[in-house]
Amino acid sequence: MESILSPDINTCSTPSELKITDMRFCDVQGLPMHCILMKIYTNQGIVGYGEVRDFASKRYALQLKRILLGENPCNVDKIFRRIKQFGGQSRQGGGVSGVEVALWDLAGKAYGQPVYRLLGGKFRDKIRMYCDTDVEGKHTGKDMGRALLARMEKGYTFLKMDLGLGILKDVPGAVSAPLGFMEELPALWEKRRAAEAAGDRELARYLENRIYDYHNIAHPFTGIHVTELGFDVLEQYVKDVRETIGYEVPLAIDHFGHIGLEDSIKLCRRIEKYNLAWAEDLIPWQLTDQYAMLRRSTTVPICTGEDIYLKENFLPLLKAGGVSVIHPDVLTAGGILELKKISDLAADYGTAMAVHMAESPIGCLAAVHAAASCENFLALEYHSVDVPDWCDIYDDKLPKPLVQDGYITVPDLPGLGIETLNDEVLKAHIHPRIPGMWEPTDLWNEDVVEDRLWS
Ligand SMILES: [Mg+2]
């Protein structure tokens, strides 16, 4: 008898009987950052891949294991609503988001469909990648221009570079700050390196906490101001870049350092004529009123969002008119479906969306499926142009390299598109301070806790 099932349906699985049985991890580095890869196992042999946000901790996901065991991963939204209370901003969103991604991978594999199709289909067949570009050490705008030009020659059609205090580091008279303040951080790093080399973990930990304190001084509280000479240097840098790459390719800028609102406005006004795609994370995203003032003070498109968890935390910025472009990360925002909801919300406010991404191919493919399903999508970030074995972690039908001529073709394979991971390649990237690979996590199966949100 002829089957009534579509040939795409995976008849080896019975989606309604699918149950989560285990969750394991592998911490790697250099792919391109410290990335935390996740497997969620089921009673039908299907394994879902997820990833906790770069530089976060697998514990953010492990605390969710007791809720996941025995649940049907195809009920993605229901499980997400149960676990979302255990996520937070930035890296703390990594556990919930990474699990959500693995649930979609499982659902897609169980139904034999690519994730984008379960989200309502796609707006585009190829995802435009925008290329983050660094030049090591002291350099000029001409050097950066040449590095960006090399990206364009590889097919990239959208670019980003850093612009800010890093460029002014060795320029006398470019910055005013409380005297001695700018030297504190390099001194702390130097001491930490020495402590680490001497094997003094206690001192190294103490110094790590002091480095955290320093980084955690929010922009309005540093007392750092750029002088007119400093703005001259930054303006000349952008001018030199534009003269090298031309004015037609979109160019975004990021990583200004902790300067406050007024200096951000001055900087944007200086560089308006260089036709920028956006200026990113100039000030902390929590400062809604300051964002609204910044956006109204310049014609440079203002962008933020890579550290924002959940749609409801994008709403104040959108309502206040504080951004022209939002920039969520699928592994912080709450996962694939939450990213789509954020995109739809932003579109209602006439705001475009670029997607932040500094992850392994797992996180990247999660962003690809989400971005395919979003109408207001501009481009997806890519940090791994110079990582030769980034694509070697998967062993299957997906193309290699994943990015070709500046684009990723949205895969039509089940789930995210990865069938098996190559453990030999992962082994070569194991994080030296977090050894072990796919080890048991039974200690996290049970807990005694009441996590209702109301009585
Ligand atoms: Mg950024």
Q: Which amino acid is at 241?
A: V
User: From the CA of 127, how far away is ligand 1's center (Å)?
Assistant: 19
User: From the CA of 436, how far away is ligand 1's center (Å)?
Assistant: 30
Residues measured by CB to lie within 5 Å of ligand 1, the ion? 254, 280
Q: Is the pLDDT of residue 178 over 80?
A: yes
Q: What pLDDT, on the 0 to 100 scale, is given for residue 138?
A: 85
User: From the CA of 140, how far away is ligand 1's center (Å)?
Assistant: 21
Q: Which two tokens stand for residue 224?
A: 């750092």
User: From the CA of 81, how far away is ligand 1's center (Å)?
Assistant: 28
Q: Are strands 126-133 and 47-52 parallel, antiparallel or unpaired?
A: unpaired
107 CA to centre of own chain: 23
Percent of the chain at pLDDT exceeding 90? 92
378 close to 367: Cβ distance less than 8 angstroms: no
Q: What is the pLDDT of residues 7-18, one digit of tens each?
A: 555 556 789 999
For residue 32, whether the previous peptide bond is cis, meaning omega lies within 30 degrees of 0, is yes
User: From the CA of 161, how far away is ligand 1's center (Å)?
Assistant: 10
Q: What pLDDT, on the 0 to 100 scale, is given for residue 22?
A: 98
Q: What is the pLDDT of residues 119-159, one digit of tens each?
A: 999 999 999 999 888 898 889 999 999 999 999 999 999 99
User: From the CA of 419, how far away is ligand 1's center (Å)?
Assistant: 30
Reference 106, options 334, 355, 336; nearest CA is 336
Q: What pLDDT, on the 0 to 100 scale, is given for residue 395?
A: 81
Least confident span in 45-59, 100-114, 344-358, 393-407 = 393-407
User: From the CA of 83, how far away is ligand 1's center (Å)?
Assistant: 27
Reference 214, options 191, 192, 181; nearest CA is 181
User: From the CA of 307, how far away is ligand 1's center (Å)?
Assistant: 9
Cα distances from 446 to residues 63, 197, 441, in angstroms, run 9, 39, 11
Q: What pLDDT, on the 0 to 100 scale, is given for residue 9?
A: 54
Q: What pLDDT, on the 0 to 100 scale, is given for residue 136?
A: 85
Q: Which two tokens stand for residue 451?
A: 């996590």
Q: What is the mean pLDDT of residues 266-282?
A: 98
3-class DSSP state for residue 407? strand
Q: What pLDDT, on the 0 to 100 scale, is given for residue 132?
A: 86
Helix (H) or strand (E) holding 49: strand 47-52
Helix (H) or strand (E) holding 325: strand 325-326
Q: What is the mean pLDDT of residues 209-216?
A: 96
Q: Which two tokens stand for residue 266?
A: 């001055």
User: From the CA of 297, how far away is ligand 1's center (Å)?
Assistant: 21
User: From the CA of 104, how far away is ligand 1's center (Å)?
Assistant: 26
Reference 95, options 117, 72, 113, 79; nearest CA is 79
What's the rounded Cα separation, in Å, for the pair 453 and 30?
39
The angle that helices 94-111 and 76-83 make with each other, rounded to 10 degrees, is: 170
Question: Which phi and psi (to 5°) does residue 361 adopt?
Answer: -55, -25
Q: What is the mean pLDDT of residues 182-202?
A: 96
117 close to 413: Cβ distance less than 8 angstroms: no
Owner of token pair 């995210």: 416
User: From the CA of 254, how far away is ligand 1's center (Å)?
Assistant: 6
What's the rounded Cα separation, in Å, for the pair 53 and 317?
23
Mean pLDDT, rounded, of the chain:
95
Q: What pLDDT, on the 0 to 100 scale, is given for residue 1?
A: 44
Owner of token pair 């080890």: 439
Least confident span in 204-208, 440-444, 446-450 = 446-450
Q: Is the pLDDT of residue 3 over 90?
A: no
Phi-psi region of 258 (alpha: psi -120 to 50; beta: other; left: phi over 0): beta
User: From the CA of 391, how far away is ligand 1's center (Å)?
Assistant: 23
34 close to 27: Cβ distance less than 8 angstroms: yes
User: From the CA of 139, how far away is ligand 1's center (Å)?
Assistant: 21
User: From the CA of 437, how far away is ligand 1's center (Å)?
Assistant: 30
User: From the CA of 316, how far away is ligand 1's center (Å)?
Assistant: 20
Q: Is the pLDDT of residue 4 over 80?
A: no
Helix intervals (H) in 169-260: 181-197, 201-215, 228-245
User: From the CA of 249, how far away is ligand 1's center (Å)?
Assistant: 19
Percent of the chain at pLDDT exceeding 70? 97
